[in-house]
Structures are given as C-alpha cells and as structure tokens.
Amino acid sequence: MRSGEARLSVQVADIMNCLHTVRAQLQPHCRAASGPQPCCRVAATRSRPRPLPHVAATALKENPQNTPNPQVMPSLEFTPRQALQAQLEAISRNDEPWVDHGVQTMYEFAEEAGSMERSRYFGFSKELTVSENLLSKVTDKELLRTGGLIGGKWSQATSGATFHVHNPATGKVIATMPKMKADETLTAIAAAHAVFPTWAKTTAKERGAILMRWYHEIVAATDDIAAIMTAECGKPLAESKAEIAAGAASVEWFAAECRRVTGDVLETVDRGRRMITLKQPVGVVAAITPWNFPMSMITRKVAPAIAAGCTVVLKPAEATPLTALALAELADRAGVPDGVFNVVLGDAPSIGHAMMSSETVRKIGFTGSTAVGKMLAEQAAKTVKRVSLELGGNAPFIVFDDADLEQAADGVVASALRNSGQTCICANRVFVQNQVYDQFAELVAARVAALKLGDGAAADTTHGPLISPAGVEKTTAHVSDALSKGAKLLVGGDVPQLPEPLAGGNFYSPTVLAEATIDMRCFREETFGPLIPLFRFQEDDEAVLMANDTEYGLAAYFYTRDLRRAWTIAEQLEYGMVGLNEVAIGSEVAPFGGVKQSGLGREQGSHGLDEFLEVKYLCMGLSYS
C-alpha cells in the first residue's frame, strides 16, 4: 500500500471522537506533498444490530487499551478504538490491513504541509460552499452511503465502474457511486425473489409495524435527510423538509392501509357453491424513480409494495442517489428484512433492460418522461408485467374573471416555480381571462421579482438551481422562442451571473412572460424550468379547449368563485387530477396519476395499494357424491 494511505474498517460509523487521535498517530506516516494527498480512510461496515454512537463512545471510555490481533477479522463487538488500533499496528509494520469489501461508507482526510486544508466525508467533498458543507454537518454519518443494497449487503459494482454525483448549485462533484449494470440488477432481483415467499406470508399487522418503525426513523432523521437532498438536488432546505414530511406520510398511511385490505364474499347463483375473492401480493416489484423528488417518489412506490407483501428492487436517478440510500439505511434499521428492499445504482439502460426482461419481476412502477415510459410499457408487454406509469405533464392553470386574484397569483407562483419549475404537476400554461389579464400579470410579476435565487442551503434562498445544464438550456430555448414570437418579458429571462462558488451552478432566473400564444414552444412542450407564460382567453369554452389541447393529462388547476362554473370546468378538463382554488393537490390519502399520455395506474391512497395486489377468485363446491 502507498505511504500515507490506509483502509480502516470498523463496525460503527460515528467515530468522530476518535479521529483526532488517529490523525495524530498517523502523522509520522503521512508524506508532505504539494497538493492534498489522502491520509487515511475510515470505513464503516453494515452490521445488525448496529451500535449507536453513544454506545460506541461509552465503549471507548471503558476499554481504551483493548487491542485485538490485527491479523484476525474483528468480531461484531469490535469497538472503533480496537479496529483503529489494529490498523495502526498494521501500518507501523507496513502490512496491508484487512478490508471488508462490503464497506461503502468512508471518511477521507487530506493533509497539505501538515495542516487540514481539505476534507472529504464519506466520499463527499467538503468545499467552502454552503450546500456542500451540509454533508459534513449530517449528524448520522451512516446515512451517507455510497453503494447499492443487494440482499441486505452494501455492494459495489462488480466491474469497479463508478459515476459522479454533482451539486447543482456549484457543479462540483460531491460523491462517487458504483455504476451497476445488469449483473448486479439480476442479483438484486434474485434476492428479492428468494425472500418473497416468506415476506408474503407475514401478516398485515407485522408489515404495518415495520413500516411504522421506518416512518419514525425518517421523521427523526429529517434534518439529515434534508441536508443530503439539498446538496444533491439543489432545492431549498424548506422544500426538502416538506418533501420528507410528504414521503414519511406515505409510509405512515400505507402502514395502516395494509390492514384495510379485504376480499369479497360473492352472491352465489348456485346453492352448492360458495364464492369469495382474495387479494395477494403481485410478487417482485421493480421501481424506477426520478431526481426531482428523490424521496417522495420512492416512498409512494416502496411503501405500498412492502405493505402489500411484495419485495422491491429500486433504481433511483443517477443525479440523486444519496437520498435513496439514506432511506434504505433507515428501512434496514426499522427491521425491513434482507432482500425485501434492494437498491441498485448506475447504468439506467442496462438496469432497466434487466428489470424489464426478467420473468421474475411481475410489476413495474416508473416515474419519468413519457418517452421512457412508452419504451418500458412496450418492454413490459413481452412478459405481461403489470405497469404503473407516472409520466409527463403540461398542466394548465386557468384564472377566470371572478377569481380571487391575490389568491390565484399566490397559487400560480407556488405551483409553477415549485422546485424551480421541476415538477410533473407544475403549472406550465397560465390562461387568464381578458378582463383581469393585466391586473393578474402585474400581481404575478411582483411576486416573482421578490424571489431570491441561490444556494438551497442559504436561509434566504427561495429557489435553487436546476438539476443540470440541460435544464438551463431548455428553459433558455423556450424563453428565446417565445420572445421571438412576440411575448413580452416581465421578469427574469436570463442566466444570472452569480458569485463564486455558485458561478458554475445550473441557475436560471424565475421568469414571467406576457402575451404568450399557442404557437410557442412553451405551450406545446413541458419546460421543466422556472417559467410562467401568461396566455389570454375570452370565453370559458376557449380556456377549456386550450387547456385540453395537449397529449398530456396529469394535473390541471383553475380559480373561480362561481359554483356552476366550478363543476362544469372540472368535468370538462381531461386530466387525472384537478385543483379548484388550490395547488397543493398531492396527498397520501388521494389517488395520484394522469390520463392520456401522462401515465397508467394510480399512486397513493387505497388505489395505490391495489396496484401491488392481485385478485384471486376462490370457488368452493358444497355438494358431495
């Protein structure tokens, strides 16, 4: 091994109390360099039961000198101090310390001329930026996993390939993850399949109890998960915490909903027969989730699947895997058995193909683009998998002349610019009746002008970056197209020049365009960026026609105080979800999903649990010969 580098495997992740001691003892072995050099790596293995940080600290105080044989693999009771001392002795002899290849979580410390200039915590860069510093402030370091979870073991890619996770506020790398492919996916599917018969036989009470423990683990870790989410996704901390609350609510709901699953006794037409229906889990579920809501998109799939008695293989988005891994860690602590919840990371085409071609996988849950959803549906047909698809949207937002304009202006800004416009149910096209158009435009522009763009970790930031440069490019293209066709710029419309370290971030100023028309790209295409285009209409029917003039049908919104108009418009809108004087339409108790090319099936509520259940009909003959 190189001088100045060692791998130290321990059983407890939170060993910060030991680090100063370790550093002092390793100092003689570290060579000075012109740039940062790795000095030591401390890795934390997964074990069950997992010692808590205060337990580890107590053990260190009670047994500070207990040193094991460094040539022997440590036992489960091995304390951090014991493991570290063993590694130090190995270093002093220039031996290669033992390595647990299941280890995924690490501290890395760097030296330059004897001073701590740069640190890396669990593979995450500690830069002099607010959001990246968030990761160093995560109190529960075991939540910072950097590997997949397969059959209860934290795993790396067999090929050794990796990919980077970037902070969208700065563009800098904050983590390196294993780039898994088909082999690891098939292993995860096999693990899920192996445990399915046992898990399916558990009672609803047992499954609900485990889900409730998972819920409490999530709630307790809210601050840490929010820090992780903001660092990798860019959304403000307040939005991250709101998403965590929503995701936890899904877990809590399905923990109770699984007890409400019932069959039916059918009225017979034959005195010699009795007929009933049962509901049973579909089997192994593959879940593919996006980056814009890296927690709630997972819990609304994984929680009902587990509640139904299914096992799951999850593939989170490459841009935001850290939140998914934190959730998996918490699920493990809650007692979710090995193999029931698996996570694979990396190559989307390879992983997706393995999931879709596997005859073991019986159900696919996907949230993402319509183009990818169509491809998955086509592939699923080859093995007749059940499919739930939550796809693209192009949500209309209609403001009638009798609306409460202040309330409507608040609503459109909240909806259109939530997560910087990166949500599938964002208000994309705002239709305003002529009589109130100018007044409403002024109200919206004033609200948007008051927003604060910046690092999601900063206290005064209202809106963060887009997830990637591609998002900035698409928003720029939509704004440029609209302006070239006669739209008027009221607010924004530019890529802001932010100071370092945000100069490399994926920012676009929240933008309001007046006099938008139906020949513009922002009418036909989903922008997925911070853009509010305002269209005019005169008659109610005209608004409905424009709203429905899209291949999508996920969510729609309208504001009116007229009861007759409310019922009429709601019935005419071709959308799976409609908000009347309300934009916060998502709820764990209500079905979430769309029509047309916005998807198939529903998530959340009792409908969401039914997606993971098969109906079995049982006919019993009572006649005997």
What are the catalytic residues? Answer: 390, 424
User: Chain-centre distance of CA 353, in angstroms?
Assistant: 21
Sheet of 119-121, strands arranged across: 7-10, 37-44, 105-111, 119-121, 124-126
Going by C-alpha positions, the residue among 177, 180, 178 that lies closest to residue 232 is: 177
Q: In degrees rounded to 5, what are phi and psi of residue 264?
A: -135, 150
CA distance 70 to 74: 8
**What is the H or E stretch that residue 364 is in?**
strand 361-367
CA distance 131 to 236: 10
Q: What is the dihedral of CA 165, 168, 171, 176, to 10 degrees?
A: -10
Contact 165, 322 (CB under 8 A): yes
User: Chain-centre distance of CA 31, in angstroms?
Assistant: 41
CA distance 209 to 172: 41
Concatenated DSSP letters of 182-206: HHHHHHHHHHHHHHHHHHHTS-HHH
CA distance 247 to 218: 9
Q: CB under 8 Å to 138, separation ≥6 — which residues?
A: 121, 144, 224, 227, 228
- Asked, as a colleague might, if the bond just before 49 is cis with ω within 30 of 0, I would say yes
**Which structure tokens are listed for 122?**
């669990």
CA angle, 118 then 124 then 129, to 5°? 65
Type of residue found at 78: F
CA distance 146 to 104: 5
What is the number of other CB atoms lying within 10 angstroms of the CB of residue 509? 19
Contact 462, 530 (CB under 8 A): no
Angle between helices 204-220 and 321-334 (to 10 degrees): 130
Contact 412, 421 (CB under 8 A): no
CA distance 485 to 487: 6
